[in-house]
Structure 1
Amino acid sequence: MPSVSVVVPVLDDAAHLRRCLAALEAQTRPADEVVVVDNGSADDSAAVARAAGAVVRSEPVRGIARAASRGYDTAHGDVIVRLDADSVPPPDWIATALALLEDPSVVAVTGPGRPSDAGGLVRVVWPVLYMRPYFVLMRGALSRPPLFGSAMALRRSTWLAVRDRVHRDDPEVHDDIDLSMQFDPEWRVLADPALTVRVSARPFASLPSAVRRARRAFHTFRVNGRRGSPPRRWARRLRTDWRNRDQAHAWWRGR
């Protein structure tokens, strides 16, 4: 069985982190290691992590990409799970992710979030205005499903292949999208609703919050230049699909 490390970046989010760590403790397939990356918290986030038995790493330079990368770099597991401090995974989340990763062609898996602290209206519009557009639009731009940082798992070998490409020192990048862009277009990523986690409704907390997220997404495409170009990504993906189809046909004819 592969070993599993869970990475949770945190900044002044002790209450949410406590719930996240409790959900990890209740997993049917427990993590072998939980790494909480303290990104300069002024509250007791680090103390909450230590009390739960997590390994605490400090990343004083602010930025989600910087904190997440620090966690991925120090994780020891064969599989790296990334959750946010406000993520609350169901008890079978890790077991489900590992089952999906049994396919050797899959380099990463991800799932959506659903709000746990929102009223009825937000619960209704959340998938329509946030989750569905994110996965549909980003899939169109990336030629594959994007990673969602609140609920994702990737092989450690995948991270090692791309760690020098990510823009960890740019605090304005959207780290989920940036990491997704570093994957080669032919790599296989699965997005599965079985990996849904509960999250905070903070993306809908204010208009400036939504605008900031959109601005960071566009900025991430700009800094990635040719690597982020949707036409180039789709052209490479289609070439790979045609090559794989031809190889499959050749194998079948040779039987």
Structure 2
Amino acid sequence: MKAFLKTAVAAAAIALAGTFAASAEQVKVGFSPEAYPPFYSQDSSGKWGGWEVEIAMAICAEAKLDCVLTPIPWDGLIPGLKTKKIDAIMNSMSITAERQKEIDFSDKYYNTPTAIIGAKDQKFDASPEGLKGKIVGVQVSTVHAAYAKKHFASTAAEIKEYQTQDEANQDLAAGRIDATQADQIALDAFLKSDQGKGCCDMKGTVAPDLEVLGPGVGAGVRKGDTELKDKISAAIKGIRANGKYNEITKKYFDFDVYGEEAQSN
């Protein structure tokens, strides 16, 4: 009987250890549960899809990580990462020096221009002079908010912050603001929508500012989580090399959103 109990206890310990080993590879990927097409969008059943969702899952598969999409409001993503509510952020978060004070980043997985859109009946460009006297909407806690405050605050009538980019787009369509700044691809998607087509057009891309806008978008991880960061960076290189990145990208874009060259962090 004692021998049986010892064997049973040993077997349970091995099974428990196996459970811990399996769960150690599970990664909670944080994202803000808001429509940001074509990167993130939700179907009628509530399932999330889009280019970034597919790329994130491809990265996880390549890295042999069991990833679970975990919704957290945008301004709670970095706090959630630091308090271990999530293990990584894959949500169009630009790599910036300011954010690198709090978290680490993988290599970039895309880099696209930053643009300004506005009402069709207003003629202006994406410069401080062009936005003189305008109300400019931006999403809170984004590089776009930081950029607008740095470059447009001295000439714009107001830099108005929103919890989501969709709210800024809605206010632009309603005429409550004059312009909004965001990723060009996301703004292009809005301009192709029924609402966007009727109200607004592209005013141009903003002048480069590497310090604020960063070298591209990467996966955010906790400070010191080098193992996960390296796995994700290697997986990004892997899906670029094996064609999976291009296979997914061609479903959404007719150009390579990756940018000129990789950035290591």
Larger-Rg structure:
2
TM-score normalised by L of structure 2: 0.27
Higher helix share: 1
